[in-house]
Structure 1
Amino acid sequence: MSEPKNPENAVDVAGTGASELDRFPDPGMHEHKLRMADKDPKAAKRAEAQVVILFVISIVGTIGMLIAYFAIRPEGTTASVRNANLALGLGMFFALMGIGLAAVHWAKTLMSDHEKSEDRHAQRSADDVREAAVAVLKEGAADSGIARRPVLQGAVVTALALFPLTIVVPLISSVGGDWDISKFKHTIWKPGTRLAIDPTGRLIKASDLTIGSVVHVIPDVPAEERRSHHWIAEKAKAIVLLVRLDPAILKETEERKSWSYDGIVAYSKICTHVGCPVALYEQQTHHLLCPCHQSTFDVADGAKVVFGPAKRPLPQLPIMVDDEGYLVAQDDFDEPVGPSYWERLK
């Protein structure tokens, strides 16, 4: 880019621009426009009634949530669990929505909406300024009109007082519940349990898998058991990812060489970070990726962590082949599956 032919002129232009900015007029505040509630007492009453109704909706939502929590109990089926969660969710939704909408409507229609400005000052104001600020806060409380609106005052206090029950009651009611952590240490995999494809339940033979195959696996249990609520909870802990690799690339410790079969390895699908399902497999790198936080495990090397926040390898399920050629578990996982919890040693 070429230099300006007359640099002095350029300096003059800059100086002129700066002086113009110095003379820029202060636009001041926009003209305040009165709202309907400011001009019409009936409109103010209507707005107050609307805010009260919204707080009442919150109160009803809280009460409804508490009733649902005690009255609608899961009965061991997926439908009952869904209905119970839906009732609890709707109750909490209306409890929160009522408070939120009421606060917004109250601020927009009843509280003072005059714009105010003040000059910038030091971070800590002088004592007299701080006293003035407290006076302004008291003035704001007076502007809200809550002191002269007893119905509104009762509605907001009741809604805000009841809403914490939606959180406190479920917490208190869980005290004294089942704290047996031994159930976290074991799954329903047992010696001789056949591996079945999830969700069809079809049994798997070693000959069904080629190098690079990836199969989502569950324990083979009777059909009637798979329809129970207990099965759903146990399946969540027992899900497995079955992968067949070239046996030449497997890195196995001496104690685990018998845990695989001809390059077929089985690992828990539950991420050791926070329990997300690990199911994204890269065939070329043999890496298994957790989609939640990108923890990455090397299936060819004991499912060790190669990237991400997970701190432990995925637990391995020892497998073998039975007399009919079906893949079966030798035993349960050698360690608890999933993320850490209290009293876990590793």
Structure 2
Amino acid sequence: MRRATLVAAVSFGAATLAALGLFVVYIAGGQPQVEGALLFVALAGLGAGLMVWATRLMPGIGQVTQARRHAPPPPEEKEAAAEAMAGGVEEMSRRRLLFRLLLGAAGALGLAAIFPVRSLGRAPGASLFRTEWRAGQRLVDVDGNLVTRDTLDVDSFTTVFPEDAVGSGDSQAVLIRVASGSLQLPADRLVGAPDGYVAYSKICTHAGCALALYLAEVHQLRCPCHQSTFDVLNGARPVYGPAARPLPQLPIQIDPDGTMRALSDFTAPVGPSFWDLPP
């Protein structure tokens, strides 16, 4: 009995030291091999200590194999199970040294888990729902030049950004010019696509790749990564490939001098779908 107590205490102590070492190594910059070894010792020590405690230090609690039954257990069996559990709890609380070592090992392991969890970064909050586009911002190309009514010919396209956020990954959009009157958009969306100009997010809604190919003959945008294809005339609805969601539209307007401006941000969150994406 005394030897079993010593083994359990040493196991819990080793688990505590390994977990604290894991915490220190992670704070110091991390080393995957060392972290893996320390995590193994921490978990193995915790498990070994609990196993020795349960099998060697709780003689009143034996292994019982019950026959399989399909009916609910009788009340006396429920009472026996409750008594056995209460006895186990009492046995654990009676051995104060081991109980404190167990709490110390569990606490050290929890402490070691704090920083890896923190390294996942902050919650995205509302950042997934908005980009740098705001009402009134002028459209510019990749070189920062203003985009105007005369920039594109019919059946051509270019990449555009907000004037003050050139190169912004989530704000990149594709501006396409089609024949006037050929867009098949709802009335509220058609307002943001004047004179055959329509702008969509350049980020594929499947895996976030940048759309790079416009098939002018069939008025489709195609993603180079997994071949998702979007119907430009019909609200960038996916017609082929794994993407399941249309490209969000960027509503635009054309000023009297030909300058193009955004009417608002995109009509929906850009990029791949995520768990709380509104329908």
TM-score interval w.r.t. the shorter chain?
A: 0.5 to 0.7
RMSD of aligned C-alpha atoms?
Answer: 2.7
Q: CA deviation at 1:172?
A: 2.5
Q: TM-score when scaled to structure 1?
A: 0.47
CA distance in 1, matches of 2:159, 2:203: 12
Deviations 1:136-184 (A, max 9, x none): xxxxxxxxxxxxxxxxxxxxxxxxxxxxxxxx89742326x42142111
Query: Out of 140, 157, 160, which is 1:214 matched to?
Result: 157
Equivalent residue of 1:217, what SS?
A: strand
2:245 counterpart (297, 305, 312):
312
Aligned in 2, Cα 1:179/1:282: closer, same or farther, shift over 3 Å?
Answer: same
SS of the residue aligned with 1:255? helix
Q: What is the alpha-carbon distance in structure 2 between the residues aligned to residue 283 and residue 220 of structure 1?
A: 27
Residue in 2 aligned with 1:184?
Answer: 128
Match of 1:342 among 262, 269, 275: 275
**Equivalent residues of 2:193, 2:199 under 8 A apart:** yes
> Tell me, what secondary structure is at the counterpart of 2:247?
coil
Question: TM-score, normalised on structure 2?
Answer: 0.58
Matched, 1:264 2:209: no
Bigger fraction of residues in helix? 1
2:211 matched residue in structure 1: 278
| 1:1-346 to 2 correspondences below 5 Å | 171-174=116-119, 177-198=121-142, 200-221=143-164, 235-346=168-279
Q: Give 1:68 deviation, angstroms.
A: 5.3
Q: How many Å separate the matches in 2 of 1:335 and 1:279?
A: 21
Structure showing greater relative contact order (alpha-carbon pairs closer than 8 Å, 6 or more residues apart): 2
CA distance in 2, matches of 1:276, 1:236: 11
Q: Count residues in correspondence.
A: 179
* CA deviation string 1:199-221 (max 9, x = no partner): x1000111222102211111101
Identity level (%): 40
Deviation of 1:67 (Å): 5.2
Between 303-312 and 333-342, report the one with greater CA deviation. 333-342
Question: 1: CA distance between counterparts of 2:25 and 2:183?
Answer: 57
Q: Which has the larger radius of gyration?
A: 1
Is 2:138–2:259's contact at 8 Å kept on the other side of the alignment?
Answer: yes
Runs of 4+ in 1 over 2 A off after TM superposition: 63-69, 168-175
Unaligned runs of 5+ in 2: 1-23, 34-112
SS in 2 for 1:262: helix
Could you tell me how far apart the structure 2 residues matched to 1:64 and 1:211 are? 60
The answer (yes or no) to whether the contact 1:286–1:300 under 8 Å persists in 2 is: yes
Q: Which ranges in structure 1 are unaligned for 5 or more consecutive residues?
A: 1-62, 70-90, 96-167, 227-231
